[in-house]
Structure 1
Amino acid sequence: MAVWRSGEDSPFSLSAAENTKHQSSDGSPSSLSAAENTKHQSSDGGSFSLSAAENTKQLIDLLGKSGDLKERTFSFEKAEGRLLYFETIVDSARIEESILRPLSETDRQNAEEALTVLEREEKADPDKAIAALMQGKVLLFLEGRPIGIACGVETFFLRSIMEPANEKVIRGSHDGFVESLNTNIALIRERIKHPGLMIEYVQLGQKTNTRVAIIYEKEIANPELVEELKRRVNSIDMDMMFNPGFLEDMVEDSTLSPFPQVLQTERPDRAIANVMDGRILLFGDGSPTCIIMPVTFFALYQSPDDYNARTIPGSFYRLLRFISFLIAIMLPGLYIAIVGFHFEVLPPDLILNIKGGVQTIPFPPLIEVLAMELAIEIIREAGVRLPTPIGQTIGIVGGIIISDAVVSAGFASRTTVIVVAVTAISSFVAPSAEMSTATRLIRFPLMILASLFGFYGLMFGIVALAIHLCKLESLGRPYFAPMAPFRLKDLLRDTFIKQSAWKKKTRPLDSRPLKEGAEFGSREWAKK
């Protein structure tokens, strides 16, 4: 029967001198008693002694006197045992039920087998033992054994699985990823019941020790791309890694480009569709966001709703998104170029109407449009930071009031307000929030070029933008494919228009999948 003692025996009170360990002349730990505190050397140079008290003292000295670091001492068949854990990240009830109670009902010889925890692992190295502590494990030390037993009794703080607020769909699944890596992987495994689904873990962050999962389908994903992503992830060296933005910056090809070279999603169905196309997923523990690589510019304008809709409606809305992109980046610059340089391209009646409004404005077109664009951005940012009901009210009411006041005061024309409003709405059509942000940023240099050189400046900016897109890569693959390199079949297959599922015979070639064909199969019954 085990007898539990209070924390008065805690090695917090021991001095460093009292913690001195001795070795026998032959170096054999089996030839020494527990009182002699012989050190047992592990293969990697770390060490624990045969004394449970010495082992916990050693770890506490390494960790420091943290307020939530707790030690429990007990007697076990006339010998001493110790538990060490962080009370804030373990389940105290599970410690009692799965560790302490079984130990009190068994003998010393069968102590480890008596534990009822599902996850336990021997740790002979102090550094590995500390890593286990940080992950919510309880370390069990028994007198006479130069190892610690890491028992998995973590406590989990999870929110319910619900639909992502920023990726709602009308049809399709309504679940989303959460902050638990294990839960997110379970959502993937639930849908892909195939042995080829591979999951590899990496620890990132010297201080945070964040688990990152690399997920791919080994029979579809290109091994060269998988190895390249592993190389980039393994080369990351930083203190903390708890934000998907950090991970994105570390693995994407061009961090100075306004365009995102990864696709971020919180939807399991979208992540799975990309896995089956030969792409690779990156998950970080503590984040509900999944990073997908490689991706193309056109993939960022595809929505899960496309594949839940019929072919013609799905194609229409996808084309509408691409048109909205062109409107969002070009309309303000086009308006500035026309008002400042090229009034002759407008019908006579429209010229009189626009000129009548512009002549009373004391600012040049560029300043007028820039001021309105900045006002829209300020309203949008305020709406994001405020609680949802108030934010929506600020966005609508603020936009109406400011627009009316600006026109009434003569600071901007009605045409300018219309142009800025249409541009703002078009920029929010992109399914990807990162692409929406990039779209809003791109139009500012185009506006400046249009104000300096008219249509020539605007066209120069568009050509420079196209060259930049053609040069970009995502995980070493062309970002602007299938436009550059140009592949007409891919362009017509499932890029600008949504292809019927039964006609989709091949996977996208941008990820160089091992299996290009037979993604969805065919409608054999229609041939009979």
Structure 2
Amino acid sequence: MSFFKKKSSLSSTSNDGGQLCEDIEKNIRMLEEHFCHTEDLMKKELQFHNRKCVIIYLDSLVKKELLQASIIEPILEGKMSEIEKTVHAAEIKKTSIISEAGKNLLDRSCVILLEKDPQAYVASVGGIEERAIQEPNNERSIKSSHDGFIESFSSNLQLLRKRLKSPQLKVKYFTIGNFSNTKVGMLYLENLANKELVEEVERRLSSIEIDQLYSTGELEEVIEDHPFSPFPQILATERPDRAVSYITEGKITIIVDGNPRVLVVPITFFAFYQAPDDYNSRWLVGSFFRLIRVFSFIIAISLPAIYIAIVSFHSEVLPIGILYSIRVSLEYVPFPPLAEAIAMQIILELLKEASIRLPSPIAQTIGIVGGLVIGTAVVDAHIVSNMMIVVIGFTAIASFVAPINEMGTSARLLGFPTMLAASLFGFFGIVFVLMLIFMHLSKLDSFGTPYFSPLAPFKKEDVKDSLIRLPLWKLNTRPTDAKPEYANQQGRIRAWKKK
């Protein structure tokens, strides 16, 4: 297996050391060999001041109208004697290395070769159709902006710079993947981001050795600290306003070309339950909904387990009326509560996956009709009880409250061991599993930042924008989880108020 991997890596870097020469035909042959004689590598021969000129480009990556208007027509007119002053490209540079010329061809540029010239002129003529900027479906908001990242690296960078008009916003580029040559960008504020954090993120990105990288999910998997933890340790978002807010806290944003989600590091647990609408509503309203979201995490993990523990061990905690109703609904159910709960959780996940994969009109039918039909049918068939349907419904709603989908999925997965412990030990099993979960949360870290901060370790100054949100004029300092170079972020913004 290692032999084949080594062989593929060597084949991907062949001809990397080739140098251009004054023989234009030889240069063309070397470029064709570099691209394995692919048929979409196009050549166009012209004359430039009585010298042979060849334009080479990849047919699938350039915009023909732009190539004709900015490269071919100016060369045919030949008003200037130098090729750099003749073409009308926004960017033109020279290279004498075959691999560098090939890399630029893959980056939506064209290569201009001249007779008796050992240099290649690279001009940008890319123009792939892009998806329109629109609000992301999985991070909708009511009062915030309604634009989102798309698959274009330059458009995503533009969305960030449009909001953060600061010369301190710094971008570092990386190329990851021997075959995919994926462009990755690391963004941060030079005078604010912690230098050790910047060096650590740069070290992890630079050390990646992989043949292909196509998504932020793959990148997240290879740079996160604890890959076996059920909790996401890197936040992935499609909202530019969210990404900018984290950059101004001293965090680092990572953009992967061809993917609409950007990564934010380091991150804490409570960031997954914060929404942009929290800051566009009055602070009491924002704090109320944020507390509901955090409380929904406990509900999603423990509510089915609590039902199982009550039915199996602790029925005395319920009022007699509710207990009688539950006992009646369980009278003809042949399965134990644990089997009921697991079966309904699996059915819930199946319905969710079916709704995601199917086209929108059919997905709505599956979600509504499927849920009603299956829920009614399993109760009438005495497979599960009425109360179990109610419990699983509340659990599903609680898990969907999380603004970031990954955290809601983690909560539903953690519900399975909690249910198992409840079926064996009752309330004691639930408490024990919850203790393990919170111990794990307290032990986790993301790029050196405690994951459960500001509760573990407790930081009084950061609580004001974690579980709750205090008024904006009280948020004078930045969160300290990313260890920014300076903490103050605003002056006395209510200076208009008389003392």
TM-score tier after normalising by the smaller chain length:
over 0.9
- Superimposed CA distance per residue, residues 356-383 of structure 1 (whole angstroms, 9 cap, x where no aligned partner): 2223210111001111111111111111
Q: Indicate if the aligned counterparts of 1:384 and 1:391 stay in contact, CA closer than 8 A.
A: yes
The aligned residue for residue 375 of structure 2 is 403
Q: Does 1:508 align with 2:476?
A: no
Q: Indicate if the aligned counterparts of 2:80 and 2:86 stay in contact, CA closer than 8 A.
A: no
Q: Indicate if the aligned counterparts of 2:251 and 2:264 stay in contact, CA closer than 8 A.
A: yes
Q: Distance in 1 between matches of 2:168 and 2:498?
A: 33
Q: Indicate if the aligned counterparts of 1:164 and 1:176 stay in contact, CA closer than 8 A.
A: yes
- How far has the Cα of 1:490 moved from its partner? 2.1
Q: Does 1:197 align with 2:142?
A: no
Residue of 226, 250, 263 corresponding to 2:222:
250
Tell me the number of residue pairs that the alignment of Structure 1 and Structure 2 aligns: 484
Q: Which amino acid aligns with 1:79?
A: R
Q: Distance in 2 between matches of 1:128 and 1:69?
A: 16
Q: Which amino acid aligns with 1:523?
A: R
The aligned residue for residue 5 of structure 2 is none
The aligned residue for residue 525 of structure 1 is 496
Q: Distance in 1 between matches of 2:83 and 2:370?
A: 69
Judged with a 3 Å threshold, the aligned counterparts in structure 2 of structure 1 residues 201 and 131 are, in CA distance, closer, same or farther, namely same
The aligned residue for residue 288 of structure 1 is 260
Q: Distance in 1 between matches of 2:53 and 2:313?
A: 86
Q: Which amino acid aligns with 1:296?
A: T
Q: Which amino acid aligns with 1:407?
A: V
Q: Distance in 2 between matches of 1:310 and 1:107?
A: 64
- How far has the Cα of 1:471 moved from its partner? 1.3
- How far has the Cα of 1:105 moved from its partner? 2.3
Judged with a 3 Å threshold, the aligned counterparts in structure 2 of structure 1 residues 220 and 111 are, in CA distance, closer, same or farther, namely closer
Q: Distance in 2 between matches of 1:398 and 1:94?
A: 51
SS in 1 for 2:476: coil
Q: Distance in 1 between matches of 2:272 and 2:203?
A: 25
Q: Does 1:183 align with 2:183?
A: no
SS in 1 for 2:354: helix
Output the aligned Cα RMSD. 1.4
Q: Does 1:117 align with 2:81?
A: no
The aligned residue for residue 424 of structure 2 is 452
Q: Does 1:238 align with 2:210?
A: yes
- How far has the Cα of 1:301 moved from its partner? 0.2
Q: Does 1:320 align with 2:320?
A: no
The aligned residue for residue 498 of structure 1 is 469
SS in 2 for 1:509: coil
- How far has the Cα of 1:393 moved from its partner? 2.2
Q: Distance in 2 between matches of 1:311 and 1:427?
A: 24
Q: Indicate if the aligned counterparts of 2:230 and 2:410 stay in contact, CA closer than 8 A.
A: yes
Q: Does 1:73 align with 2:66?
A: no
Q: Indicate if the aligned counterparts of 1:504 and 1:520 stay in contact, CA closer than 8 A.
A: no
- How far has the Cα of 1:290 moved from its partner? 1.1
Q: Distance in 1 between matches of 2:237 and 2:492?
A: 27
Structure of higher RCO (CA pairs closer than 8 Å, 6+ residues apart): 2
Q: Indicate if the aligned counterparts of 1:192 and 1:272 stay in contact, CA closer than 8 A.
A: yes
- How far has the Cα of 1:520 moved from its partner? 6.5
The aligned residue for residue 423 of structure 1 is 395
Q: Indicate if the aligned counterparts of 1:139 and 1:149 stay in contact, CA closer than 8 A.
A: yes
- How far has the Cα of 1:503 moved from its partner? 0.9
Pick which of 463-472 and 102-111 moved more: 102-111
Q: Indicate if the aligned counterparts of 1:233 and 1:250 stay in contact, CA closer than 8 A.
A: no
Q: Which amino acid aligns with 2:482?
A: S
Judged with a 3 Å threshold, the aligned counterparts in structure 2 of structure 1 residues 525 and 86 are, in CA distance, closer, same or farther, namely same
**Structure 2 residue ranges without an equivalent (≥5):** 1-15
The aligned residue for residue 342 of structure 2 is 370
- Superimposed CA distance per residue, residues 5-25 of structure 1 (whole angstroms, 9 cap, x where no aligned partner): xxxxxxxxxxxxxxxxxxxxx
The aligned residue for residue 273 of structure 2 is 301
Q: Percent identity?
A: 42
Q: Distance in 2 between matches of 1:155 and 1:386?
A: 32
- Superimposed CA distance per residue, residues 39-83 of structure 1 (whole angstroms, 9 cap, x where no aligned partner): xxxxx9541110111101111012112121111122334432211
Q: Distance in 1 between matches of 2:280 and 2:461?
A: 23
Q: Indicate if the aligned counterparts of 2:272 and 2:404 stay in contact, CA closer than 8 A.
A: yes
**Structure 1 residue ranges without an equivalent (≥5):** 1-43
- How far has the Cα of 1:156 moved from its partner? 2.2
SS in 1 for 2:82: helix
SS in 1 for 2:20: strand
TM-score under structure 2 normalisation?
A: 0.94
- How far has the Cα of 1:348 moved from its partner? 2.2
Q: Does 1:359 align with 2:331?
A: yes
After TM superposition, the structure 1 = structure 2 runs for residues 338-349 of structure 1, keeping only pairs within 5 Å, are 338-349=310-321
Q: Which amino acid aligns with 2:249?
A: D
Pick which of 163-172 and 437-446 moved more: 163-172
- How far has the Cα of 1:108 moved from its partner? 7.9
Q: Distance in 2 between matches of 1:191 and 1:520?
A: 21
Q: Distance in 1 between matches of 2:87 and 2:320?
A: 88
Max Rg structure: 1
After TM superposition, the structure 1 = structure 2 runs for residues 375-390 of structure 1, keeping only pairs within 5 Å, are 375-390=347-362
Q: Does 1:152 align with 2:124?
A: yes
SS in 1 for 2:205: helix
Q: Which amino acid aligns with 1:453?
A: F
Q: Indicate if the aligned counterparts of 1:77 and 1:108 stay in contact, CA closer than 8 A.
A: no
SS in 2 for 1:216: strand
Judged with a 3 Å threshold, the aligned counterparts in structure 2 of structure 1 residues 272 and 67 are, in CA distance, closer, same or farther, namely same
Q: Distance in 2 between matches of 1:45 and 1:358?
A: 75
Q: Distance in 1 between matches of 2:219 and 2:207?
A: 12
Q: Which amino acid aligns with 1:376?
A: L
Pick which of 220-229 and 103-112 moved more: 103-112
